[in-house]
Chain A
Amino acid sequence: MMKKNNVKFMQGNEACVAGAIAAGMKFYAGYPITPSTEIAEVSAQLLPKVGGKFIQMEDEIAGMAAAIGGSLAGLKSMTATSGPGFSLKQENIGYAAIAEIPCVIVDVQRGGPSTGLPTAPSQGDIMQAKWGTHGDHPVIALSPSSVRETFDLTVRCFNLAEKYRTPVMLMLDEVVGHMREKIVIPDASEIEVIDRIKPEPGDSNYQPYKVKEGQIVPAMAAYGDGFRFHVTGLIHDESGFPSNSHEVADKLMTRLMKKVEDNLDDIIAFEENHIEDAEVVVLSYGGTARSAKSAMKKAREMGLKVGMFRPITIWPFPEKRVAEIAKNVKAIIVAEMNYGQLVLEVERVVKNAAPIYHVGKINGEVITPDEILAKIKEVL
């Protein structure tokens, strides 16, 4: 299309699929929903070309269930949705968490609740990503701000899912999902791809939920590999069969939480801009972070000492770094397209170290740079 083959002009949603294929996705199951539909469409076009399978299921719940099934059969699997479907998928996301089934769930956020504003952007599902399914469970959720980053983070979602055997969420928003911009697709040789650990072929002592020395998660056999094993949403012991033992429950639950908690440095990523001398830091993510960056540049041109912090990993939240930054600033402004969600986490982490302000929007429009700039001037 362009002069060089690897330079493309594409949507965030299209880049998501390109990233998924580069990461080794071989199975997509879902139910098309605006504004994520292009992810299903392009997956249907591309998967057969790489020996993969696409299936449109009867509803959102089945789409999630089939993605879990595909992963249990040994294929890297993904599903994509938006708010209404994200709600429906939550029960099965919990199943994937306790049964430790790697998979990627993309949520291209739109205005909610319910069917809300189907074609308008939002960041209203950020807390749902963490608390949407019941019970304590590990959560990894990433949020890209550009088309290229959507490609990169989709690869990373697959890698984290495989490495930690857990569902990983890509929290896109309609802004980044639908906007087209230039992307330079990296060569396959530049892309790190992580695959799940598998048991030794013929290992007659295979225990599907036993973690071997030096490993983070149990080796994962695929259905059809010849191993007989049981998978359940109930608390289970190392054999994979249900248990009512408090000791077994404590051991499993603690291990599930710790596999993420003990590896924060590996999982957490963020971007900083002009933090060193900043008096005010704007914390923003996804599509809104682009407005924050523009506001920061305008403020700097006026001589205002403004910096920017962008969590790329939303969950687990980069709390150590945010708490450090808070000690040296006059104020933190959290900008997000919702009524106040990630700001709650910032407040929890920062405590009284710095005053926290919120710029939110819930009418389906993006937050503009000028709206953030106005808040900067107000607090400085």
Chain B
Amino acid sequence: MSKQVEIRLTGSGGQGLILGGIIMAEAALLDGKNAIQSQSYGPEARGGASKAEVIISEHEIDFPKVEVPDLLLALTQVAAEKYADDIKSDGILLVDSSVSLPEGIVAGKIIQIPILQTAAEVIGKPMVANIIAIGAIQQILNIVSKESLESAVLNRVPKGTEELNRRALAEGYRLVEKY
């Protein structure tokens, strides 16, 4: 990877994408890198298309917004239709299996995995979809270490849910193992 990696996390409001972005950025800081996280808020708090952005770099980060992402995550159909066409030509598109990909998407690699279904059925908690997603992103990009990502997750999640979130991360790693 180049020295600056830009990630855009999209889905619907309430899926914890901003928290996912914050955790990835904090993991990068634990690794001694720089990171910036930002988001666009729509007027709606839940539902609708929402996006969170993370930039991770070994250097100072000037412009704080993602211009064209190296990796784009789309958890919902609405988000995929709105954001999936804006990605680097060699970028990675990570999409939930529930989404039918819009026509004409150009990306270096498209990875489709059942993030939402795994959260609901394997872990039994739909709300850990964001943690599964960042686990998958770690496995794909290796831009933060697993050790730091786990610490960052455990620093942010409520007490008593540590084991659940560890399992969610492990599912994320596993889902993309073969890609």
Contact = CB atoms under 8 A, between A and B. Distances in A.
Nearest to A364: B40
B77 to A, nearest CB: 23
Contact of B62 (A178, A297, A370): A297
Nearest to B32: A3
Contacts of A258: none
Contact of A2 (B22, B26, B37, B65): B26
Interface residues of B, number: 22
Given A1-B155, A118-B43, A179-B37, A366 B65 contact: yes
B43 A179 contact: no
Contact of A3 (B30, B38, B65): B30
Given A119-B41, A178-B38, A9 B62 contact: no
B108 interface: no
Given A119-B41, A179-B36, A9 B63 contact: no
B22 A9 contact: yes
Contacts of A370: 67
B106 interface: no
A119 B25 contact: no
A261 to B, nearest CB: 34
A9 to B, nearest CB: 5
Interface in A164-201: 175, 178-182
Contacts of B25: 9, 180
Interface string B1-43: 0000000000000000000001001100110001111111111
B30 A181 contact: no
Contacts of B41: 34, 119
Contacts of B62: 290-291, 293-294, 297, 369
A273 to B, nearest CB: 11
B138 to A, nearest CB: 17
A368 interface: yes
B57 to A, nearest CB: 11
Contacts of A368: 63, 65, 67
Given A1-B26, A2-B30, A9-B29, A178 B39 contact: yes
Interface string B106-148: 0000000000000000000000000000000000000000000
Contacts of A178: 38-39
Contact of B38 (A9, A179, A294): A179
Given A178-B39, A180-B38, A291 B63 contact: yes
Contacts of B42: 119
Interface residues of A, number: 24
A287 interface: yes
A272 B71 CA distance: 35
B157 interface: no
A211 B25 CA distance: 51
Interface string A1-24: 111000101000000000000000
A9 B43 contact: no
B24 to A, nearest CB: 11
Question: Which has the most chain B C-beta neighbours within 10 Å: A175, A178, A182, A293?
Answer: A182
A158 B41 CA distance: 31
A1 B67 CA distance: 29
Contact of B64 (A3, A9, A179, A182): A179
Nearest to B39: A178
Contact of B63 (A7, A118, A119, A290): A290
B48 to A, nearest CB: 12
A294 B36 CA distance: 15
Interface in A193-251: none
Contacts of A297: 62
Nearest to A34: B41
A3 B28 CA distance: 12
Q: Which of B34, B38, B62 has the most CB of A within 10 A?
A: B62
A287 B25 CA distance: 20
A178 to B, nearest CB: 6
Contacts of B34: 181-182
B61 interface: yes
Nearest to A147: B36
A178 B53 CA distance: 12
Contacts of A366: 65
Nearest to A296: B62
Contacts of A118: 43
Interface of A: 1-3, 7, 9, 34, 118-119, 175, 178-182, 287, 290-291, 293-294, 297, 366, 368-370
Given A287-B64, A368-B65, 14 more contacts: A2-B26, A2-B30, A7-B29, A9-B22, A9-B37, A34-B41, A180-B38, A181-B36, A181-B37, A181-B61, A182-B29, A290-B63, A294-B62, A369-B63
Give 10 nearest A-B pairs by CB, closest first: A294-B62, A180-B37, A294-B63, A179-B38, A119-B41, A293-B62, A181-B36, A290-B62, A179-B64, A9-B26
Interface of B: 22, 25-26, 29-30, 34-43, 61-65, 67, 155
7 contacts: A119-B43, A179-B64, A180-B37, A181-B61, A294-B63, A368-B65, A368-B67
